[in-house]
Amino acid sequence: MTLEELDRSYLWHPFTPMREWLAEPPLVIERAEGNELIDTEGRRYLDGVSSLWVNLHGHAHPAINAAIAEQLAKVAHSTLLGLASTPSILLAEKLVALAPPGLTRVFFSDSGSTSVEVALKIAFQFQQLRGIAGRVRFLALRHAYHGDTIGSVSLGGIDTFHRVFQPLLFHTHHINPTIDELHQAFASHGNELAAFVLEPLVQGAAGMLLSPPGFLREARSLCHKHGVLLVADEVATGFGRTGTMFACQQEGVTPDLLALAKGLSGGYLPVAATMATEEVFRQFLGLPEERLTFFHGHSFGGNALGCAAALASLEIFEREQTLANLPHKIAALRARLGEKISPLPHVFEIRQKGLMVGIELRHSGSRPYSAEEAIGARVCRIVRRHRVILRPLGSVVVLMPPLSITADQIDHLVDATAAAIAEATSETSPARSAPLPQPSQYHTVPAPLRGIFLVGTDTGVGKTTVGVGLLALARARGLTPVPFKPVETGAAPEPEDALRLRSAAGRGDLAREIICPYAFPPPVAPALAAEQASTRLTLAGIVAAAHRAAMHGDFLLVESAGGVLSPYSEDLTAADLAAALGLPLLLIARNALGTINHTALAIAELRRRHLPLTGVLFVDTTAVSTPDRAHNPRLVRALTGVRVLGTLPFLPVPTPDGLAAALRLNLDVDVLLPSLS
């Protein structure tokens, strides 16, 4: 068999849909030189993503090769459990000298995931040892990626990677990287947090998302104030990628724990380190019977060959003046991207920090590419014909060349990428018609919420009843649902519907204000009730409240007021809110005479606004059957072409469990709730 056939017979590739892999002959790399990978046919490819973000100084660098060979002649590996070793000592000394001041202890492991896992466990145990009860949760950024072990996956928020493992994970609070949400999170959870874990400046695997300037410094100061440890995951950003040795240095921040891997060995061998301050370390000093030991360690932690390679890589930084050479490379890359990539249709936004680049592609009119279109993968397949290796993140094309990339190679990398994007995007779509939206200077995360938006054809059609049933179902499926009813009128004195939703969700832990930020006593439309209370409901205010509520769980159920065009203010309707939240909609209709017209009108308006309607659900709101009931769903379906999910029968005693069971029995609930299995 050829190598290609053997690969397809015996290998299982990481993060790879294997059915597609098996359908095409793989590219087999045999050697490499400098910034180029060479395949079995002798073809050379520019390593445009540093062999998955690890390589720094190029392949087969003579100094690193020599350091490994020299160490190999002495010893390849000895354990750090109960023994010390020369290369690990020298590397630790070097790391302490280079890292932000105050990080004085180095714990070695062997991958980015383990370096984060170690940081999590140290932070957790540190809080226990300090004797402060209840600091058992972590805060992380939305769309976070910190590795693939269960602890680091628990911090994660990338749906495609992490959703399937949900039942195995511990609960983590997530926020968007905004100063506002940061303050909110510390105000609500400051005293239950062991640590805040984040990638400083750039969220790599999230799609090269940039955090706003000052965010890291603010996080540092809030962590201090609340006794929460700050864990910086610089697995991707470390070792020059963002232009400085570490990203934290750009905001003058020393985290309490720093996770390092990927670039640490220059991309040669699996070495990782978790660095800690003396304050953290001291907590673990004590007599054996005090049980202060950190019981964690990997067989190959502090491996001698890996440490020797890492040491050689760090010496290259000095000898080749690697950091001093970066600014003009970064500027050249920025200029070339602006010239060749920016003008292309379908380039929605270019996000660059140092030599880390994400090029987000969207259809014209900024409509996102679907996962099925696999636009990023298509670009990367085409760019190989131009002799460049890239690896995308969904519809984001990533460029992350080795720090040793030359001026000519920067031009080739960008030109080849531009050609591939142009070809891949012209395959599917006609030329751009609408003007492209202006890329924002700092990308604020669009924060896709997960959940559903309930809207009625009218008031009193059974929205809350359906909400109660769906929340009970979501809970039974292991989700942590959060109900959100932004405004309730007729709240005299309490917003009864919101409280019913809260109880069905089993979220007695959430304050009423989180679930229902605006409650007004008069039983009138929200716009009028707000007016009478001399308040004005704004879209920004309600959207911010929705995102705050969403932080408390993993499935947001929004119940809007009344019908599609029910007003929250003179210029704000339920439909506007639905558009701003971006959740799939469920239209709820009263199964009674008159519903066909109401439902068809509501659907027409949702269509006009291009809102994502999942389907229509009819509710028998009374026990009295009318002759039209049996036919309404069919006629609505025929008139509008919209999917009718079913009819919820009238329950004299509508308990959450009873409603959940009735929903399960009468409609396909899988289209409404994320599946967990």
Ligand X SMILES: *Cc1c(COP(=O)(O)O)cnc(C)c1O
Q: Which is nearer to ligand X, 205 or 550 (CB)?
A: 205
Instruction: Compute the distance between CA of residue 474 and CA of residue 479 in angstroms, rounded to an integer.
Output: 5
H helical segments located in 481-538: 496-505, 512-515, 526-532
Query: Which among 78, 8, 16 is positioned nearest to 392, based on CA atoms?
Result: 16
Shortest reach from residue 236's CB to ligand X, in Å: 3
Return the percent helix, strand and coil in the chain, to nearest 5: 40, 20, 40
Q: Which is nearer to ligand X, 210 or 514 (CB)?
A: 210
Torsion of CA 102, 106, 110, 111, to 10 degrees: -10
Q: Which is nearer to ligand X, 95 or 420 (CB)?
A: 95
C-alpha dist (Å) from residue 329 to 153, 326, 404, 411:
34, 5, 9, 11
Which residues touch 539 (CB under 8 Å, ≥6 apart)?
A: 572, 576, 577, 580
Q: Which is nearer to ligand X, 34 or 207 (CB)?
A: 207
Which residues touch 260 (CB under 8 Å, ≥6 apart)?
A: 95, 115, 234, 235, 238, 239, 272, 273, 274, 275
H helical segments located in 257-359: 278-282, 304-319, 326-336
Sign, CA torsion 204/206/212/216 = negative
Shortest reach from residue 144's CB to ligand X, in Å: 8
Instruction: Compute the distance between CA of residue 172 and CA of residue 554 in angstroms, rounded to an integer.
Output: 10
Q: What is the identity of the amino acid at 131? A: G
Shortest reach from residue 154's CB to ligand X, in Å: 13
Shortest reach from residue 115's CB to ligand X, in Å: 7
Instruction: Compute the distance between CA of residue 63 and CA of residue 341 in angstroms, rounded to an integer.
Output: 36
Q: Which is nearer to ligand X, 116 or 195 (CB)?
A: 116
Q: Which is nearer to ligand X, 233 or 559 (CB)?
A: 233
Q: Which is nearer to ligand X, 52 or 524 (CB)?
A: 52
Contacts to ligand X by CB under 6 A: 111-113, 116, 145-148, 199, 204-205, 233, 235-236, 261-262
Q: Which is nearer to ligand X, 148 or 554 (CB)?
A: 148
Q: Which is nearer to ligand X, 14 or 430 (CB)?
A: 14
H helical segments located in 254-371: 278-282, 304-319, 326-336
Instruction: Compute the distance between CA of residue 461 and CA of residue 346 in angstroms, rounded to an integer.
Output: 42
Query: Which among 220, 279, 228 is positioned nearest to 251, based on CA atoms?
Result: 220
Shortest reach from residue 426's CB to ligand X, in Å: 32
Shortest reach from residue 585's CB to ligand X, in Å: 35
Shortest reach from residue 148's CB to ligand X, in Å: 6
Q: Which is nearer to ligand X, 386 or 391 (CB)?
A: 391
Shortest reach from residue 373's CB to ligand X, in Å: 25
What's the gap between Cα 446 and its chain centre? 11
**Which pairs with CB-CB distance under 8 Å and at least 24 residues apart come from 71-80?**
71/304, 71/305, 71/308, 72/305, 74/304, 75/304, 76/303, 76/304, 76/305, 77/300, 77/303, 77/304, 77/305, 78/304, 79/299, 80/108, 80/297, 80/301, 80/302
- Reported as type and span, the H/E element at residue 223 is helix 215-226
Q: Which is nearer to ligand X, 147 or 394 (CB)?
A: 147
Shortest reach from residue 245's CB to ligand X, in Å: 16
First CA to last CA distance, the chain: 38
Shortest reach from residue 222's CB to ligand X, in Å: 21
Shortest reach from residue 203's CB to ligand X, in Å: 8
Shortest reach from residue 111's CB to ligand X, in Å: 4
Q: Which residue is nearest to ligand X (CB)?
A: 112
Q: Which is nearer to ligand X, 236 or 499 (CB)?
A: 236
